[in-house]
Amino acid sequence: MEEKTNYEKDLASIRNLMERSVKVISLSGLAGVMAGLYALAAAVYVYFQVYLEQISRSRHYFDDNPEKIYHLLAVALITLLASVSTGLYFSHRKAKRVGTSLWNSSSKRMVINLIIPLVSGGAFVLIILMHGYIGLIAPACLLFYGLALINASQNLFDEIRYLGYLEIVLGIISSIFIGYGLIFWAVGFGVLHIVYGVLMYRKYDA
Amino acid sequence: MKNPFDYLDKVMGHSGRLQIMSVLAANDSYDFTSLKELLQITDGSLATHIKALEREKYITVNKSFVDRKPSTRYKITEKGRTAFKKHIDALNELVKGQRGR
């Protein structure tokens, strides 16, 4: 009888070890929550800066106000930097708590898999911006971000893959409703991050 | 039917070596430092287990330099993967056999 529990325990611990060796367990749910809050704050700010003027849906708005583009790019960059650094902070804290390092075999692989679609998407977004297709920026961001998440999901908790699917669906819908990009962007990067962050935090961090 | 005990792998009978094999079976490759950290064992005992697995040709070792620092990566071989699978199957058989009793 004693042996039975031993073999079962061995198998269970091997399964657990295999999973831990692949997944980035240090990624904290709080990173997602904070990234979502920053995204919502940025979206509200941009809404009052640009959308409130109610001319954003005209394609020539930015031709007449080129400085607005730089303004928006600066907001986007600050949001990105704030999200990444806060994410690193919370993940570093969690890594310390669970006794692993932030920068290990699986997190390296995860970052590489995440960055390739993300950088391609970033370049693509800058190019469509250059051509003046402002309305396609939010859909492109959502689509490439979703693809990046799915690409990196092999080394992340399973739920992240579904977040990726949702981002892609949002991206496609928002490319139909040009002019409402900011709202879709706020849902995809704000609301979904907060919802997923809370779910992940309750499941894996607590 | 043959006794499932006969299918258990001698080298992987040790839990440290079985743990190394399970990590390498789940990943394309893994480096020494990450492995040490994950398994929470000393340099010395990890090196000993690695040697034993290498001798059986269950894993391959690849030494290189990353940023002028030495980096050692391990990969599971076909032989190692087959042996690992057989060992796990035997463990599963044993658990099942005891359940049925």
> Tens of pLDDT along chain B (101 residues)?
567 777 788 888 788 899 999 999 999 899 998 899 889 999 999 999 999 999 999 999 999 888 888 889 999 999 999 999 999 998 888 888 777 65
Q: In Å, how far is A102's CA from the nearest CA of chain B? A: 11
B71 close to A (CB below 8 A): no
Question: To the nearest whole number, what is the mean pLDDT of chain B?
Answer: 88
pLDDT value, residue A122: 96
- In the block, which residue shows the tokens 């409402």? A180
Q: In Å, how far is A142's CA from the nearest CA of chain B? A: 29
The β-bridge partners of B31 are B73
| Residue A105 in this model has a pLDDT that exceeds 60 | yes
Task: Assess contact for B71 and A108: CB atoms under 8 A.
Answer: no
CB < 8 Å to A105, chain B: 27, 30-31, 34
A10 close to B (CB below 8 A): yes
**Average pLDDT value for residue range A41-66:** 72
| Residue A191 in this model has a pLDDT that exceeds 50 | yes
Q: For residues B85 and A40, give the distance between their C-alpha atoms in angstroms, rounded to a whole number.
A: 48
Interface test with A, best of B5, B66, B75, B94 (most A CBs within 10 A): B94
| Residue A50 in this model has a pLDDT that exceeds 80 | no
**Average pLDDT value for residue range A13-32:** 90
pLDDT value, residue B75: 95
Rg, C-alpha atoms of chain B: 15
CA distance to A29, A64, A139, A157, A164, per residue, from A153 (Å): 15, 42, 21, 7, 9
B69 close to A (CB below 8 A): no
Task: Assess contact for B57 and B21: CB atoms under 8 A.
Answer: no
Interface test with B, best of A3, A5, A14 (most B CBs within 10 A): A14
A55 confidence band (pLDDT: 50, 70, 90) = low
Q: For residues A151 and A117, give the distance between their C-alpha atoms in angstroms, rounded to a whole number.
A: 8
**Average pLDDT value for residue range A73-95:** 95
| Residue A54 in this model has a pLDDT that exceeds 70 | no
A45 confidence band (pLDDT: 50, 70, 90) = very high
CB < 8 Å to B18, chain A: 10, 14
Q: In Å, how far is B29's CA from the nearest CA of chain A? A: 9
Q: Minimal CA–CA distance to A51: which of A172, A134, A166?
A: A134
φ/ψ of A96, rounded to 5, equals -65, -40
Q: In Å, how far is A193's CA from the nearest CA of chain B? A: 28
